[in-house]
Each structure stands twice: as C-alpha cells, then as structure tokens.
Amino acid sequence: MHRLAVIFVSLGIIGLGIASPAATAAGQDAKPPASKSTEQAAPQKDAKEGRAYSGMYTFRKEGEFVQVTVEDEGRVTGFVSRFGDGESDKGAFLDQFFKSGKLDGNKLSFTTEIVHGVSFDFKGTIERGEGKNPGDEAYYVLKGSLTESSTDVNKKVTSHAQDVAFKIFPQDGSPTPITRQ
C-alpha cells in the first residue's frame, strides 16, 4: 500500500507540472523560435536606418535649409528655415516647424505650420546621393514634390508645386546663412 501511495503522489506531482531538476534544466536550454528573434531585429534595423536620414538639407535658395529629425516609429520632426518673400518679411529669416511628419521606409512626408500666410508640404523619398561616405555632402537626398501654399489677406489660398532635390549637408559643416542688407 505504501508503494502505491508513493506512485500516486509522484504521478500527481508530475501532473501538476512540478518536474525534477533535470527536466527543468532541459526546459531552460530550449531556444525561442528563430522567427521571433528575426522579427525583433528588423524593426531595430529600420529604426536605426531611419535615424541615419536625420540631418540638415538644402532648401530652395542658397542659405535656406530644412532640418529633418527621424524619431521612433517613423515620426518626423523638424523645421524649414527660409527667407521671407512677402512685403512685411522680405529678406527676414523665418523658421517654420513641422506640423506633421512621417517616414515609412524611405518615403518621407511633412507639412509645416503656416508662417506669414505660407506653408509647405513635401511628399517624396530619401535616396542615396552622390556622397561617398556617411557624413559627406549629398550622401542622402530628399527627392519629391514641394507644394508652397500662400494665403492672401482675403484668405484666398494659392498653391504651387515643384519637383525638388534637397541634399544633406556634410556632418561637420552647416549652412552659412546669407545676410541681406
């Protein structure tokens, strides 16, 4: 009878999931499926590559630039620094921060806030340029369509789109703003 009780107790312990140290050690040596680790590595690689696109790029005129900062999950922040074109701001340096921005793979889009009745909308891609090494001028280029929208005093909106290619500045350099007199 005593033997029979030991067998039932042993079976009960195994049935409850309580295992011997040898069985526990064997379970700890098991490796997670390869697909899980591969899935985790891909987003980290994409995020790192996206951050590499961050930097200062040329804009429409000499001395103007656009700052692009790629953050987590493809969120993009930044601003455009440009010379004013209106009567009240002619030649003044204006900063227009991004209202929204997104990077999906190499597809970039951003919209600026309205400053002095003007906003910009960019839709395009980030591509490898003629720069040879990371940190070189034109290593990355923003290529796409830039739409400038202007609102006049009567609240009439005029939009003008143009194809553009903005080159990244070298890492150790930055644009020298042109001073107008």
What pLDDT is stored for residue 29 in this prediction? Answer: 45
* Residue 50 contacts residue 70 (beta carbons within 8 Å): yes
Q: Is the pLDDT of residue 26 over 50?
A: no
CB neighbours (10 Å) of residue 143?
A: 16
Domain assignments of the chain as residue spans, ordered by start:
56-167
Q: Which residues of 47-81 are buried (b: 16+ CB within 10 A; e: fewer)?
A: eeebeebbbbbbbbeebbbbbbbbeeebebebbbb
Least confident among 4-18, 53-67, 114-128, 141-155: 4-18
Structure tokens at 71: 């953050």
Task: Calculate the alpha carbon distances from 57 to 46, 99, 178 in Å.
Answer: 21, 18, 16
Contact 164/146 with Cβ under 8 angstroms? Answer: yes
Tell the CATH superfamily of the 56-167 domain: Avidin-like (2.40.128.30)
What are 163's two structure tokens? 């194809």
Confidence of residue 16 (pLDDT cuts 50, 70, 90): very low
Instruction: Name residue 133's beta-bridge partners.
Output: none
Angle at alpha carbon of residue 161, lines to 102 and 51, rounded to 5°: 25
Rg (CA), the chain: 29
Query: Three-state SS for 15?
Result: helix
108-140 residue pLDDT tens: 999 999 999 999 999 999 999 999 999 999 999
Give pLDDT, residue 18. Answer: 42
Mean pLDDT, residues 23-50: 49
Checking if the pLDDT of 143 tops 50, the result is: yes
The whole-model pTM stands at 0.69
Q: What SS3 class is residue 167?
A: strand
pLDDT band at 180 (very low <50, low <70, confident <90, very high): low
Sheet with 107-112: list strands edge to edge.
Answer: 55-58, 65-70, 76-83, 93-104, 107-112, 118-128, 140-151, 157-167
CA 167 to chain centre: 17
Which residue, among 151, 104, 124, 116, has the nearest Cα to 57 in the 3D structure? 124
Among residues 70, 48, 68, which one has the least CA distance to residue 58? Answer: 68
Inform me whether the pLDDT recorded for 66 exceeds 50: yes
Least confident residue range of 41-45, 79-83, 156-160: 41-45
How confident is the model at residue 135, as a pLDDT? 92
